[in-house]
C-alpha cells in the first residue's frame, strides 16, 4: 500500500468555517501556484488593493520574488485547501532595521472572509518572532476595509498613520500579550465548533458497510438510527444489496440522492481509507469509523483523506456517537444500552466503558445531550467536545474517560475555562503500571504517567474519580444538588447510631470536616428529638424519631451557617409514628442552597434518585463512603469556583536571553544533547537566581587544597564536601562519589586520592563546596514530558527521595496559587509550615525557587531535566547543594498556535 508523505514543516489548522487548511512554507516548486493565485484567483479589484494599482506584471513579479532563489531573510507561508493555494503571507526585514519586517498578504477572492488571512498571519507572527522580528509594518490603501478589519481583529496592538491616501500600519509582535492569546483562542474555538456541526448536528447520515447479516455492526447502527427517530435523511450504502434492514441500499456514495453530512463506516480495515476518500469526493464533512485494527499505512491514508477533504473524524475503533437533542435524535452507536435524552455530555475512548457508563446513567435517570466514543482518537478529542458542550446550549455536566491526551496543553487551557461554567468529571484511568500498559495497547497512544495526569486534572479544575462507579456517584450529586460551601463542613444525621458513626468516619476519611455543633444548636435539637438522642455531630435521632421531629431537625441544620452539607443516614425500623423518617426527608424542601444526600444501607442500587415533594431529586447511596466521596468532590469544585483566577508566578530574576544563549552554546557543542557540567549548570541556574551553593571546580589535588582554603571557613563547623565528577554522571551517591564533613588538608587529600584510585582517568575533576548546615532536605526540579511539556516538581529530597515518594507536581507555567498549594499538599507540609516549637522554613524563598524553575522551563524548550536535590530548607533561607541539568535539541512549542494534531499512529516513520 502506498504511503502518504506530508510536506516538510506543514501543519493543518481549521479556518473559520471549519474547513481544514494546510499551512506550510512556499518554495521554488510553488511558482505556478503563486502565479495562479495572484493572476487568476484574485479579481482586478483585489489586485488593486494588493498592489496599489492594476499592473499586469505584478503577479509574475510577485511569484518570481516569493519563489525565486532561497533567501534566509524572506519568510513566506501559504494556505492550501485540497491542493489549491488559497492564500499567502510573507514578510521581509526592512532595510537597516532587522527588528521590523514588511508584511504582505493575498487571499483568493473565493476564500475571503473565511479566516485564511488571519490564520496565515498568526503562523507568520510565530515564525517571525523566532527570527527576532519585533513588529510588522505594511502600507495599505484607505479603502482596503477587509485588511484594516483583519488587523483590528488580530488581537495585537495596531498603530496607523495616514500619508497621501495610504495608511502605514505598524503591528508590534507580542505573542505573550494576553489579549492576543485570547483572540487566537476565540478564533480557534469558533472554528472547532463550526467543524463539528456536521458530526453532532447532521441533517443527513449514510451508513457505509450496512450489512444484510443480522447482528452485524453496520446493520445494528442503521437500525438504531431509524428506531430512535433520526430527524434527517438516512441512507444505507452496500454495493451487494438493494435493501438493508428495511432501508433502501445504494451501491456507492456517489449514487446517493443527496450528500450526507455524516458517514458511519463499518467496513474492513483495508478499505477504510478508500471509503474515506470516496466520502471526501462526495462532500461528506464528518466520519465515524467503527472499524478497528488499522495498520500504520492505513491510518496515514485515512488521515490524509480527512485532512485533504476537511473531514472531522471520530475513531477508528469507535463504538459510535449519539446526539440526543430533540431536534436531531441521532443514535449511531452499537452499544446495548439506550441512552436517555438529557443534559450530560459523555466522551469515552473505550467502547466498553461507554456501554457501562451509558447503562448506569440510564438506570440512574441522568439523560445525555451527546455521546461520543473517541476510540483511537486520530482527530476529534476530548478538547473538541469540551468546546462543543461549552456552547451547545444543552449540556450542563461533562463526563470523560480519556486514556491518553493528544494536545494536553490545549486540553488544560480549554478545561480551565469550561470548568468555570459546568462540572467536568473524569475517571483517572491507568494509575498502575499495568493499567498504563493496557491503555497504551488499547488506544495505540502513549499512556500518561500518573503524576503528570493528576497535575493536569488538578490545574484544569477537572473532578478526577477512581472508578466508573465513583464517577456516576459524583455525577448524581452534582447533577441534582447545589454545591456545598468551600469548607466542606458536614452534619451527619441518622436514626441508628452505628450507621451514623460509619458515615462520620467516611466523611473524615474523605477529607470533610464534621464540626461539633454549637451548644445552642445542640440544645435546640435536644428539645426536638426523643430522649437519648445524640446532638453533637453526628446527630443520632434514635430509632424512635417521628417524621415531624426529623423534618424539623433537618430544617434546623440546613439553616446553620457552620454547616455546608447534610448527610442523612436512615435504616428502616418498626418504631416511630407517621409516614416514617424517609418520607420526612423527602418532604423537606430542597431550596435552601445546602446539598442534602441520603444513605440508605438497605437499598440494592449503589446510587439512585429519590423524588422530593417539591419535585427536586435527592441522591441516595447504599454506602456512606460513596456519599462522602461525592460530597468531597463537590466541596473541591466549590473551592475552585470560589478562587479568583491566579496570575502566573513571576520570579524576581529571569535573564532569559543569557539562559537561551547558554543552552544554544551547549547544544552547538553537543548536538545530541547531554548533561551540563557543574560550571555550566551553575551559570544556567544563576540566570534565575536559583540558590546553588558556592562551588569551586578543581582538576587536581593542588587545586582541591587551594579551594578548601577558600571555602573551608564558609562551611558548617569549618567542614567541606568533595564530589567527583565525570561526563554523563547521574547519581553521585550511588557511585560513592561524595565525601562530606571533611576537615583539614589530610582528610581532603585522602578523599581526593581515593577518588583518583577508584575512578581513574574517567574522573574529569572535583567539585569543592562548603559543608551546608543541616535542614529539611527537599527536591525541586523540572522534567520535560514529550506530550505534556514541562512539569515542575516538589517533594522530600535527599537519598530517600524515591523511598518516601512524597512529591507533588504542576504543569508549567505555574501560577501564584500553584506555589502555595504545591507546598501545602505534601504529606511533609507540617515540617515546612512549622509546628509548635519549630519555626517554618523560609517559604518565601521556596516560592521563589519554584517560580524560577517554572520560568526556566518555559524559557527553554531544550530543558529535558533539572534536578535540585537536595535543596536544604531552613528558617533562614534555602540552599541547593547539588544540581543536575540535561538539555536536548528540541524546537519551541507554542500552545496557542492553531493547528490540528497529527496523532502518533499516523505520523511518518
Q: What is the pLDDT of residues 734-788, one digit of tens each?
A: 778 899 889 888 999 999 999 998 888 889 888 898 988 889 999 999 988 766 7
Asked whether the predicted pLDDT for residue 2 surpasses 90, the reply is: no
Cα–Cα distance between 608 and 620 in angstroms, integer?
5
Give residues with Cβ within 8 angstroms of 275, minimum separation 6.
Answer: 208, 209, 263, 265, 267
Taking residues 793-810, report their average pLDDT. Answer: 79
Residue 539 bridge partners (DSSP): 493, 535
Query: What's the Cα-to-Cα distance from 114 to each of 18, 20, 110, 385, 806, rounded to whole Å?
Result: 9, 11, 9, 23, 51
Residues 345, 389 contacting (CB under 8 angstroms): yes
Cell 466549590 belongs to 638
CA-based radius of gyration for the chain: 32
Taking residues 646-666, report their average pLDDT. Answer: 93
The count of other CB atoms within 10 Å of the CB of residue 1 is 10
Write the Ramachandran bin of 608: left for phi over 0, alpha for psi from -120 to 50, otherwise beta. beta
| Three cell numbers, residue 158 | 495596531
Look at 617 and 443; give whichever has higher pLDDT: 617
Q: What is the pLDDT of residue 801?
A: 63
Cα–Cα distance between 320 and 336 in angstroms, integer?
12
pLDDT confidence band for 3 (50 / 70 / 90)? very low
* Coil, strand or helix at 591: coil
Taking residues 39-47, report their average pLDDT. Answer: 94
Residues 838, 851 contacting (CB under 8 angstroms): no
Taking residues 583-605, report their average pLDDT. Answer: 82
pLDDT confidence band for 69 (50 / 70 / 90)? confident
The count of other CB atoms within 10 Å of the CB of residue 433 is 11
Taking residues 648-668, report their average pLDDT. Answer: 93
Question: How far is residue 738 CA from its own chain's centroid?
Answer: 41
Asked whether the predicted pLDDT for residue 275 surpasses 60, the reply is: yes
- pTM (2 decimals)? 0.86
Cα–Cα distance between 849 and 2 in angstroms, integer?
52
Element (H, E) at 141: strand 135-141
Asked whether the predicted pLDDT for residue 419 surpasses 50, the reply is: yes
Element (H, E) at 506: helix 497-509
pLDDT averaged over every residue in the chain: 89
Q: What is the pLDDT of residues 92-137, one digit of tens each?
A: 999 889 999 999 999 999 999 999 999 999 999 999 988 889 999 9
Q: What is the pLDDT of residue 800?
A: 61
Nearest CA-CA partner of 106 in 144, 143, 142: 144
Asked whether the predicted pLDDT for residue 440 surpasses 60, the reply is: no
Cα–Cα distance between 711 and 748 in angstroms, integer?
12
| Three cell numbers, residue 429 | 484511568
Look at 6 and 899; give whichever has higher pLDDT: 899
**Lowest mean pLDDT, pick from 257-266, 443-452, 589-598:** 443-452
Cα–Cα distance between 309 and 330 in angstroms, integer?
24
Q: What is the pLDDT of residue 734?
A: 74
Give residues with Cβ within 8 angstroms of 31, minimum separation 6.
Answer: 63, 64, 67
pLDDT confidence band for 447 (50 / 70 / 90)? very low
Q: What is the pLDDT of residues 276-324, one digit of tens each?
A: 999 999 999 999 999 999 999 999 999 999 999 999 999 999 999 999 9
Question: How far is residue 485 CA from its own chain's centroid?
Answer: 27
Q: What is the pLDDT of residues 157-184, one digit of tens each?
A: 999 998 777 899 999 997 567 788 889 9
pLDDT confidence band for 81 (50 / 70 / 90)? very high
Q: Indicate the length of the chain as a whole number.
A: 909
Cα–Cα distance between 374 and 307 in angstroms, integer?
18
Percent of the chain with pLDDT over 70: 93
Asked whether the predicted pLDDT for residue 450 surpasses 70, the reply is: no
Amino acid at each position: 500500500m502506498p504511503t502518504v508523505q506530508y510536506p516538510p514543516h506543514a501543519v493543518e489548522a481549521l479556518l473559520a468555517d471549519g474547513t481544514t487548511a494546510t499551512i506550510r512554507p512556499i518554495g521554488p516548486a510553488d511558482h505556478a501556484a503563486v502565479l495562479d493565485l495572484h493572476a487568476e484567483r484574485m479579481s482586478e479589484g483585489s489586485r488593486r488593493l494588493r498592489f496599489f494599482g492594476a499592473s499586469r506584471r505584478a503577479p509574475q513579479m510577485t511569484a518570481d520574488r516569493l519563489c525565486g532563489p532561497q533567501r534566509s531573510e524572506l519568510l513566506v507561508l501559504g494556505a492550501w485547501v485540497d491542493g489549491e493555494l488559497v492564500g499567502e503571507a510573507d514578510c521581509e526585514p526592512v532595510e537597516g532595521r532587522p527588528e521590523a519586517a514588511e508584511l504582505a498578504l493575498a487571499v483568493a477572492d473565493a476564500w475571503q472572509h473565511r479566516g485564511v488571512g488571519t490564520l496565515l498571519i498568526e503562523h507568520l507572527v510565530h515564525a517571525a518572532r523566532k527570527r527576532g522580528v519585533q513588529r510588522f509594518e505594511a502600507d495599505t490603501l484607505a479603502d482596503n476595509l477587509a485588511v484594516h478589519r483583519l488587523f483590528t481583529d488580530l488581537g495585537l496592538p495596531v498603530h496607523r498613520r495616514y500619508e497621501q491616501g495610504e495608511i502605514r500600519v505598524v503591528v508590534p509582535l507580542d505573542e505573550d500579550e494576553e489579549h492576543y492569546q485570547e483572540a487566537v483562542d476565540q478564533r480557534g474555538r469558533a472554528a472547532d465548533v463550526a467543524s463539528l456541526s456536521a458530526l453532532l448536528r447532521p441533517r443527513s447520515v449514510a451508513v457505509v458497510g450496512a450489512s444484510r447479516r443480522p447482528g452485524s455492526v453496520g446493520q445494528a447502527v442503521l437500525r438504531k438510527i431509524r428506531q430512535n427517530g433520526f430527524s434527517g435523511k438516512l441512507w444505507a450504502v452496500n454495493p451487494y444489496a438493494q435493501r438493508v434492514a428495511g432501508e433502501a441500499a445504494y451501491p456507492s456514495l456517489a449514487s446517493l440522492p443527496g450528500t450526507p453530512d455524516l458517514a458511519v463506516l463499518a467496513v474492513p480495515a483495508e478499505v477504510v481509507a478508500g471509503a474515506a476518500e470516496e466520502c471526501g469526493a462526495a462532500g461528506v464533512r464528518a466520519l465515524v469509523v467503527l472499524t478497528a485494527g488499522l495498520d500504520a499505512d492505513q491510518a496515514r491514508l485515512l488521515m490524509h483523506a480527512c485532512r485533504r477533504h476537511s473531514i472531522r473524524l471520530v475513531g477508528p475503533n469507535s463504538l459510535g456517537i449519539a446526539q440526543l437533542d430533540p431536534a436531531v435524535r441521532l443514535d449511531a452507536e452499537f452499544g446495548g444500552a439506550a441512552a436517555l435524552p438529557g443534559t450530560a455530555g459523555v466522551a469515552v475512548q473505550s467502547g466498553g466503558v461507554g456501554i457501562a457508563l451509558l447503562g448506569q446513567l440510564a438506570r440512574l435517570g441522568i439523560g445525555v445531550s451527546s455521546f461520543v466514543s473517541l476510540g483511537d482518537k486520530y482527530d476529534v478529542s476530548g478538547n473538541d467536545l469540551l468546546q462543543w458542550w461549552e456552547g451547545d446550549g444543552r449540556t450542563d455536566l461533562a463526563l470523560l474517560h480519556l486514556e491518553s491526551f493528544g494536545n494536553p496543553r490545549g486540553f488544560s487551557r480549554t478545561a480551565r475555562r469550561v470548568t468555570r461554567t459546568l462540572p467536568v468529571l473524569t475517571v483517572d484511568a491507568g494509575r498502575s503500571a499495568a493499567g498504563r500498559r493496557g491503555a497504551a495497547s488499547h488506544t495505540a497512544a502513549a499512556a500518561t504517567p500518573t503524576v503528570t495526569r493528576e497535575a493536569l486534572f488538578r490545574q484544569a479544575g477537572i473532578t478526577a474519580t477512581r472508578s466508573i462507579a465513583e464517577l456516576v456517584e459524583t455525577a448524581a450529586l452534582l447533577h441534582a444538588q447545589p454545591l456545598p460551601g468551600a469548607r466542606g463542613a458536614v452534619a451527619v444525621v441518622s436514626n441508628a447510631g452505628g450507621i451514623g458513626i460509619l458515615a462520620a468516619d467516611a466523611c473524615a476519611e474523605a477529607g470533610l470536616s464534621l464540626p461539633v455543633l454549637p451548644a445552642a444548636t445542640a440544645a435546640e435539637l435536644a428539645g426536638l428529638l426523643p430522649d437519648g438522642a445524640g446532638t453533637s455531630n453526628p446527630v443520632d435521632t434514635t430509632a424512635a424519631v417521628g417524621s415531624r421531629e426529623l423534618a424539623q431537625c433537618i430544617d434546623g441544620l440546613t439553616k446553620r451557617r457552620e454547616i455546608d452539607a447534610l448527610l442523612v443516614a436512615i435504616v428502616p425500623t418498626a418504631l416511630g409514628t407517621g409516614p416514617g423518617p424517609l418520607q420526612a426527608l423527602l418532604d423537606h424542601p430542597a431550596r435552601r442552597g445546602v446539598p442534602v444526600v441520603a444513605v440508605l444501607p438497605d437499598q440494592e442500587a449503589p446510587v439512585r434518585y429519590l423524588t422530593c415533594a417539591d419535585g427536586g431529586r435527592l441522591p441516595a447511596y447504599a454506602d456512606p463512603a460513596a456519599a462522602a466521596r461525592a460530597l468531597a468532590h463537590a466541596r473541591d469544585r466549590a473551592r475552585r469556583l470560589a478562587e479568583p483566577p491566579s496570575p502566573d508566578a513571576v520570579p524576581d530574576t529571569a535573564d532569559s536571553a543569557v539562559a537561551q544563549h547558554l543552552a544554544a552554546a551547549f547544544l552547538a557543542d553537543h548536538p545530541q544533547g547531554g548533561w551540563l557540567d557543574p560550571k555550566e549548570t551553575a551559570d544556567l541556574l544563576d540566570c534565575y537566581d536559583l540558590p546553588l551553593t558556592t562551588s569551586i571546580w578543581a582538576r587536581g589535588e593542588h587545586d582541591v587544597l587551594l579551594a578548601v582554603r577558600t571555602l573551608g571557613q564558609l562551611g558548617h563547623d569549618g567542614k567541606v564536601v568533595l564530589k567527583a565528577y565525570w561526563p554523563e554522571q547521574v547519581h553521585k551517591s550511588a557511585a560513592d562519589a561524595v565525601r562530606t564533613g571533611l576537615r583539614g588538608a589530610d582528610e581532603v587529600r585522602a578523599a581526593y586520592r581515593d577518588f583518583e584510585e577508584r575512578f581513574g582517568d574517567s574522573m574529569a575533576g572535583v567539585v569543592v563546596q562548603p559543608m551546608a548546615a543541616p535542614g529539611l532536605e527537599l527536591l525541586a526540579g523540572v522534567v520535560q514530558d514529550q506530550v505534556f511539556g514541562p512539569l515542575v516538581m516538589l517533594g522530600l529530597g535527599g537519598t530517600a527521595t524515591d523511598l518516601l515518594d512524597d512529591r507533588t507536581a504542576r504543569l508549567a507555567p505555574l501560577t501564584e496559587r500553584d506555589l502555595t498549594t504545591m507546598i501545602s499538599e505534601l504529606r511533609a507540609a507540617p515540617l515546612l509550615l512549622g509546628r509548635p516549637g519549630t519555626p517554618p522554613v523560609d517559604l518565601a524563598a521556596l516560592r521563589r525557587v519554584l517560580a524560577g524553575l517554572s520560568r526556566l522551563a518555559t524559557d527553554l524548550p531544550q530543558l529535558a531535566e533539572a534536578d535540585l536535590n537536595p535543596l536544604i530548607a531552613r528558617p533562614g533561607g534555602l540552599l541547593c547543594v547539588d544540581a543536575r541539568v540535561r538539555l536536548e535539541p528540541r524546537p519551541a512549542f507554542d500552545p496557542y498556535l492553531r493547528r490540528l494534531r497529527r496523532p502518533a499512529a499516523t505520523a511518518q516513520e
